[in-house]
Amino acid sequence: MKDLTKMKESLVNYVEELDEDNSIKLAKEVLNEGIDPIYLLDLMNEGMKRVGKLYDCKDYYIADLIMAGLIFRQVLELEEMTDFFRGTYDKKTGKIVMGTVKGDIHDIGKDIFRYMLEAYGFDVIDLGVDVSREIFLKNVEKHNPDILALSGVLTSTVDEMKEVVNSLKEAHLRDRVKVIIGANHLTHDALKFIGADAFATDASVGAKLCREWMNAENGQGVKGNV
């Protein structure tokens, strides 16, 4: 019988130490032991937070952040993980346009959110990273989504998120789309400042909220024009 608690601790430590081989090997092992994939992401996130702290203290450098990102990405793309996120809904729940705002190239949290939405049966148009307000606007006009989701891991993205929402207002589109913003640093004050409808510091909380919005809108989670 394997000691799962010890395995989980070791996994966070391996990520912190940027030990690629052992992180991936152990991630596979804990999945085989039946750990919830969402919980595995939380463990990986804990390791990333420690990496971030080491970077803050100047013990780690940008190359170390890159390495941490690569390790997380490989775990996210393990077969067991992609199987877990594969959609089980045969009807389209709703349509979402999403992306990381201009000035920010972090995409792991955004991608986790996307996988969760896809698993819920959303039709997702992911615009990628470093997306300008003009591109967001163009795609809202083009796709007429139910929801616009903005990611911005850097604290400096708050102003850009506000500008995206302002662009929607100027184009008279704000009332036609719900806006959710997501990142660790977001707060109620930031939400108010930006003018979005909701914020989440956790992708799974955000994805659940989007599903609730759709259920409230049409009672069945299926949009008429999808």
End-to-end CA distance of the chain: 49
Look-up of token digits 């966070």: 12
Nearer to ligand B12, 31 or 113 (CB): 113
Which residues from 10-39 bind ligand B12, rule CB under 6 A? Answer: none
In this chain, which of 31, 124, 165, 200 binds ligand B12, going by CB under 6 A? 200
In this chain, which of 31, 97, 147, 149 binds ligand B12, going by CB under 6 A? 149
Two tokens, residue 88: 């089980």
151 scored as a contact of ligand B12 (CB under 6 A): yes
Q: Are strands 95-100 and 198-200 parallel, antiparallel or unpaired?
A: unpaired
Site string for ligand B12, 38-77 (x = CB under 6 A): -------x--xx-xx--xx-----x--xx-xx--x-----
Provide the residue count of the chain: 226
d(CA 128, CA 111): 9
In DSSP terms, 147 is beta-bridged to: 96, 178
Q: In the bound complex, what is the minimum distance in angstroms from residue 110's beta carbon to ligand B12?
A: 5
Amino acid identity for residue 51 in this structure: V
Q: In the bound complex, what is the minimum distance in angstroms from residue 196's beta carbon to ligand B12?
A: 10
203 scored as a contact of ligand B12 (CB under 6 A): yes
Nearest to 215 by CA among 178, 188, 167: 178
Nearest to 16 by CA among 67, 58, 74, 63: 67
187 scored as a contact of ligand B12 (CB under 6 A): no
Nearer to ligand B12, 31 or 117 (CB): 117
Residues of the shown chain interacting with ligand B12 in the complex, contacts defined by CB under 6 A? 45, 48-49, 51-52, 55-56, 62, 65-66, 68-69, 72, 103-110, 112-113, 149, 151, 153-155, 180, 182-184, 200-203, 206
